[in-house]
Amino acid sequence: MKFGGTSVADGASVSRVVDIVESCHSAGNEVAVVVSAQRGVTDQLITMATELANNTDSSGIEPFINSLRIRHGKVLLESAEDYADEVGILVEEQLCNLENILNAVHNLRELTPRSRDYIITFGERLNSLVVSAAFRQRGIPSETLDGCEAGIVTTPNHGEAMALPQSEEKIQKRVLPLLADSVPVIMGFMGCTDKGVVTTLGRSGSDYSAAIIGAALDADEILIWTDVDGIMTSDPRLIPDARVIPSISYLEVMELSYFGAKVMHPRSIEPAMNKNIIVRVKNTFNPDHPGTTIVRGERRDTRVVKALTYIEKVAMVNICGAQMIGRPGVAKAIFSQLADRDVNVMMISQGSSEANITLVVEESQEETAREALSALVRQGMVRQVTTNRDVCAVAVVGSGMAGAKGTGGRIFTALGNGGINVMMISQGSSEVNISFVVRQEDGPRAVRILHDEFHLSEEDDE
Ligand code: ADP
Ligand code: ASP
Ligand code: MG
């Protein structure tokens, strides 16, 4: 079971978390728990570390440490009174450690990817102490393990590390023996390299931690507990009448999360899918709601389109030139230039004239992409590379689209009728997803129009 930041914000929510775990555990199930940081703490750590590396002023450190002390101390007292002193000392140790590293970052004016990763795991380090104490307060034996202790061995790419196969055996060795008579609380979002260097798994990475651990333990189920009733037809903050999807396939969730739906980390499906483990997304604040079940999904869906999502911070890269026509190797050159600079390409489209290729990359990688491709302009391989940041990508997801004639027509007619100009289109060969690019300001309205067009607010008639 993984509990997100909103599930552990105060004593009352932590006590709900303990209720949920207790009722599952006392029914005879073995439970391992993964927790992420309290909401907003990871963002604060990132901001603080970045500012300290760039600023002469370090006066923010003390109030920041103090705010973490107050915040975690309060939840600790509310949910594990008897352990407040004992665990309070451990919290202080973590805070002292954090304060020292933040001072070091400031003194050196240097924040390497390695130190950044270490710093941003402190939200999980603090929170896991509190949650584990709350279990003990209820009489459930519990200890905390950081991601590395739990056995998650990762690639060394800081900020986006991936679990390596050797993790499985390590997790089994370390975590399995604890399950018989305790509920271990594992810090999400982090692992370490085989040399023991701390890494993080990407933002929202605790979902991925839960999947890695659940898969390694051959769990019956992986439960992602959050603050909404399940995976919804669209982001409920954007579409207030978005509806909970009862059942969705691994592939569909992968597409949704890849395109920005914040409910789950994009890589968190793969470990579960490899072992065919059911993933459930449920609401900590409404545990009786059945939530969303994520399964392999052989069943043909009655719905053509299941969910919509959009991602704001992207940039479109347009590469053109008549010299590209009929010339083998241009695409190879483009993608290897980008790969050499670690630019992740999210969408690709090529006109049949071959005179242009359009790509979508993360906004933060726009400049790197432009620089990388300018080498090809200098070599005369392409004529021009232009970029546009004023765009967003929308993804329409549903396995029912495969083979359903006219879905594309419906999508683009509805958008056209709404006066929205589509700048680029891409469809994966799995046909689970049609994605397109529109002007940034048109994004929310495009999602609204399609949510209505495919009647996504209406209940399933199955
Ligand atoms: P947690 O702290 O539990 O990991 P997150 O904030 O990371 O929670 O993710 C849950 C939030 O994701 C919800 O509160 C919701 O606003 C947002 N969200 C975005 N897209 C969707 C979607 N398609 N279905 C459900 N929630 C979504
Ligand atoms: N705390 C981390 C983040 O904010 C990981 C997570 O929430 O899953 O990205
Ligand atoms: Mg999350």
Lowest average pLDDT, out of 5-14, 30-39, 143-152, 207-216, goes to 5-14
What separation in Å is there between the alpha carbon of 309 and the centre of ligand 1? 12
Same domain (yes/no): 317, 192: no
DSSP 95: H
Indicate which residue's Cα is closest to atom 1 of ligand 2.
37
Instruction: Provide the residue range defining the domain that includes 339.
Output: 307-453
Same domain (yes/no): 208, 318: no
DSSP 421: P
- Kindly state whether residue 224 falls inside one of the protein's structural domains: no
User: How many domains would you assign to the chain?
Assistant: 2
- Kindly state whether residue 59 falls inside one of the protein's structural domains: yes
What separation in Å is there between the alpha carbon of 70 and the centre of ligand 3? 23
CB 260 less than 6 A from any atom of ligand 2: no
Instruction: Among 235, 265, 286, 293, name the best residue to mutate to test ligand 1's pocket (greatest count of ligand atoms within 8 A of Cβ).
Output: 235
Closest to 267 (Cα-Cα) out of 246, 247, 253? 253
Indicate which residue's Cα is closest to atom 6 of ligand 2.
204
Mean pLDDT, the chain, rounded, equals 93
Indicate which residue's Cα is closest to atom 5 of ligand 2.
204
Same domain (yes/no): 192, 63: yes
Provide the whole-model pTM. Answer: 0.92
- Kindly state whether residue 290 falls inside one of the protein's structural domains: no
pLDDT tens sequence across 328-348? 888 889 999 999 998 989 899
- Kindly state whether residue 396 falls inside one of the protein's structural domains: yes
- Kindly state whether residue 52 falls inside one of the protein's structural domains: yes
Q: Answer with the one of 219, 238, 267 that is the final residue of a domain.
A: 219
Burial class (CB in 10 A: 0-12, 13-18, 19+), 89: exposed
- CA dist 331 to 81, 325, 362, 367, Å? 62, 11, 19, 19
Cα–Cα distance, 38 to 187 (Å, whole number) = 12
| CATH number, residue 77 | 3.40.1160.10
pLDDT tens sequence across 255-285? 898 887 777 898 999 999 999 999 999 999 9
DSSP 263: T
Q: Answer with the one of 170, 185, 219 that is the final residue of a domain.
A: 219
Same domain (yes/no): 317, 181: no
Cα–Cα distance, 109 to 104 (Å, whole number) = 8
Instruction: Among 13, 203, 228, name the best residue to mutate to test ligand 1's pocket (greatest count of ligand atoms within 8 A of Cβ).
Output: 228
- Kindly state whether residue 92 falls inside one of the protein's structural domains: yes
Ligand nearest to the CA of residue 202, numbered in listed order: 2
CB 59 within 8 A of CB 26: no
| CATH number, residue 414 | 3.30.2130.10
Around ligand 1, the residues with Cβ closer than 6 Å are 4-6, 204, 226-228, 231-232, 234-237, 261-263, 307, 309
pLDDT tens sequence across 104-125? 999 999 999 999 999 999 999 9
pLDDT confidence of residue 462: 47
What separation in Å is there between the alpha carbon of 121 and the centre of ligand 3? 15
Distance, C-alpha 96 to centroid of its chain? 29
- Kindly state whether residue 229 falls inside one of the protein's structural domains: no
